[in-house]
Amino acid sequence: MDAARVDTSATRVFFGALHPGDGTAWFDALTLDVDGVPYTGGASTAHALSSAETAWLRAHAHALTGADPNAEASDLRPIGDVVGDARIVALGEGTHGTSEFFRMKHRLTRYLAMEKGFTLFAIEANMPEARRVNEYVLTGRGDPKAALAGLYFWTWNTQEVLDLIEWMRAYNASGKHIEFWGFDLQTPNVAMDSVRAFVARADGAYAPTLDSAYAAVAAVVAQRRGGPLTPAAVDTWRTEAARVLAHLEQNRAAYAGRDTMEVAWAIQNARIVAQGAGSATGTLSRDSSMAANVAWIAAHTPRGTRMVLWAHNGHVNRYEGWMGSHLARRFGDSLRVIGFALGDGRYTAVGPRGLTAYPALAPVPGSVEASLHALGTPQLVLDMRRAASDRAGAWLAEPQPFRSIGAVALDGGFYPTPVARHYDALIYFDHTTPSLSLGYGARPAAPF
C-alpha cells in the first residue's frame, strides 16, 4: 500500500479483496509488512478478570429469553431502561449474517413500537429504494419480496428481514403506524432516475442539462465494475452531481406550487447522488453521509418521531468518523447505541465457498465475548452506561478484543475495542445460526 495515498487523518486502515463470482483465486506467500515489520495480527493482550470485575458483569447483565419476535416481552425491560426517553435507538450487529441478531432486532422493533411509541424503522440500505418497501408497509401495495431484493444488499435479503416487513404491514393494517426507511447512498441509479422524473414534471427546460450531467455520472458508476475509480473519474462524478444538486436547491422557490415533500425528496435524491462520489473514494464519507441522511429523516418527519436504526456495529458505534459519532454529536443524549455480539456458531457471508454459512470460531481469550461466555447465560443484555465510571467496570472502556465481521467471512475478526465508550449496551448470544438468505437480490423497482 502506498503510504502517500492514505489520508493523513485516518485512524484505521481496512483493506481486502472480494471475489463474488464463480471460480477459485489462489494467493501464494501473502504477507503484510508495516514499515518493514511483519504484522502478526490481531487482538490486544488478554485481560484476566478479577473477582470484582466478574461480579460487576453479573450485576449488570440481564438474561434474555431468546430472539423469537413473538415471545412475551417482560425480559426486554432492562433494554427499555437503557432506551429511556431517547429519540433514536441504533441497533448494531457483529456480523451481517447472524439469524439471532436479525430476529432480536425484529423483536426489539416490535417492543419499541408497541411499548415505547417508536414509529419509524430505518436500515443501512439505499434511501430511495427503501421507499418501495415502505409503500408496501403502509398500503399493502406491491410485492414485499421484490422490494426487499431491490435494496441490492444480500445481507438484508433474508427471511428474517422479510418477516419483519410482513409484521410491519400487519401492524399498520391493525390501525397502528410504523414506517420503513433507508439511510444509505452507495448506489445512485434509482436516485438519478427519481431526480429525472421530478425534473420532467417540474422543470422541463432543465432536463437536457440534467441528462448530460447524469450520463457522465452513470458512465463513472459503470466503471466501478472494472475496479477502483481513478481520481479523475471520481471528480467527474462529484462535479456533475454537485451541479445538479445546486440547481435544484437554487430553484426550490420556483417549485413552491408543488407538494413540499415531493420537492424535498427530489433535492434529497440529488444529494444522495452527490454523496455517492465521496463514498466511492473509500473514506468515511459514507458514514458521515448516512448520519446526515438520518438527520434528514428526523427533520422531515413529525416532531418527536422516535426511530430505530439497523446497521453494522461498525457504523452505529461512537468511534470517531463512523456514523454513530456523527449522530452522537447531533443528537446527544437522545441517542442510544446497542451493539450485538456472539460466542460461536455459524453466520452467512461471502467467502471461498460463495454466499453460504461459515463458522464463527470460539472467542479468543481475554475478549469481551469470552468474558460474557464465562457468565454461563445463553443470551443476555449487558448495560454498560456506568462502566467507565465504575472501577470494576472500567476495563470495558479500555480496548479489549471484540469481534467484528461484515459481509465477508473471517476466521477471527477480533479488534481492540473500548466497547463501553462505543455502546450503551451489548446484546450477546452464546451460540448462533446463519441468517436465512433469499439470494443476492434483484433490480430495484421504478423510481418515485
Q: What is the CB-side half-sphere exposure of residue 302 using CA atoms within 13 A?
A: 9
Indicate whether 314 and 274 sit together in one domain. Answer: no
CB contact at 8 A, 432 and 384: no
Asked whether residue 29 carries a pLDDT value surpassing 60, the answer given is no
Asked whether residue 351 carries a pLDDT value surpassing 50, the answer given is yes
- Give the pLDDT mean for 192-205: 97
Cell of residue 112, nine digits: 419499541
pLDDT given for residue 226 in this prediction = 76
pLDDT tens per residue across span 246-259 = 999 999 999 988 99
From 43-47, 230-234, 322-326, the region with the lowest mean pLDDT: 43-47
Indicate whether 61 and 178 sit together in one domain. Answer: yes
Domain boundary among 255, 283, 311: 283
Asked whether residue 41 carries a pLDDT value surpassing 50, the answer given is no
Q: Would residue 37 count as lying in a domain?
A: no
Angle between helices 159-173 and 127-139 (to 10 degrees): 50
Q: Would residue 377 count as lying in a domain?
A: yes
Q: Would residue 25 count as lying in a domain?
A: no
Domain ranges, residue 335:
51-185+301-432
Indicate whether 179 and 312 sit together in one domain. Answer: yes
pLDDT given for residue 9 in this prediction = 55
pLDDT given for residue 214 in this prediction = 98
pLDDT tens per residue across span 209-240 = 999 999 999 999 999 887 888 999 999 999 99
3-state secondary structure the chain: CCHHHCCCCCCCCCCCCCCCCCCCCCCCCCCCEECCEECCCCCCCCCCCCHHHHHHHHHHEEECCCCCCCCCCHHHHHHHHHHCCCCEEEECCCCCCEHHHHHHHHHHHHHHHHHHCCCEEEEEEEHHHHHHHHHHHHHCCCCHHHHHHCCCCCCCCEHHHHHHHHHHHHHHHCCCCCEEEEEECCCCHHHHHHHHHHHHHHCHHHHHHHHHHHHHHHHHHHHHHHCCCCHHHHHHHHHHHHHHHHHHHHCHHHHCCCCHHHHHHHHHHHHHHHHHHHHCCCCCHHHHHHHHHHHHHHHCCCCCCCEEEECCHHHHCCCCCCHHHHHHHHHHHHEEEEEEEEEEEEEEEEECCEEEEEEECCCCCCCHHHHHHCCCCCEEEEECCCCCCCCCCHHHHCCEEEECCCCECCCCCEEEECHHHHCCEEEEEEEECECCECCCCCCCCCCC
Q: With bands split at pLDDT 50, 70 and 90, how would you rate the model's confidence at 38?
A: very low
Indicate whether 78 and 166 sit together in one domain. Answer: yes
Domain boundary among 221, 251, 283: 283
pLDDT given for residue 75 in this prediction = 97
CB contact at 8 A, 94 and 339: yes
Indicate whether 368 and 403 sit together in one domain. Answer: yes
Indicate whether 170 and 87 sit together in one domain. Answer: yes
Asked whether residue 445 carries a pLDDT value surpassing 70, the answer given is no
Indicate whether 315 and 399 sit together in one domain. Answer: yes
- Give the pLDDT mean for 119-128: 97
pTM: 0.90
Residue 146 phi, psi (nearest 5): -70, -40
Count of domains forming the chain: 2
CATH number at residue 204: 1.20.1440.30
Cell of residue 147, nine digits: 422490494
Q: What is the CB-side half-sphere exposure of residue 351 using CA atoms within 13 A?
A: 18
Indicate whether 331 and 374 sit together in one domain. Answer: yes
pLDDT given for residue 37 in this prediction = 43
Nearest to 289 by CA among 245, 225, 337, 232: 245
Q: Would residue 341 count as lying in a domain?
A: yes
Indicate whether 346 and 257 sit together in one domain. Answer: no
Indicate whether 84 and 154 sit together in one domain. Answer: yes
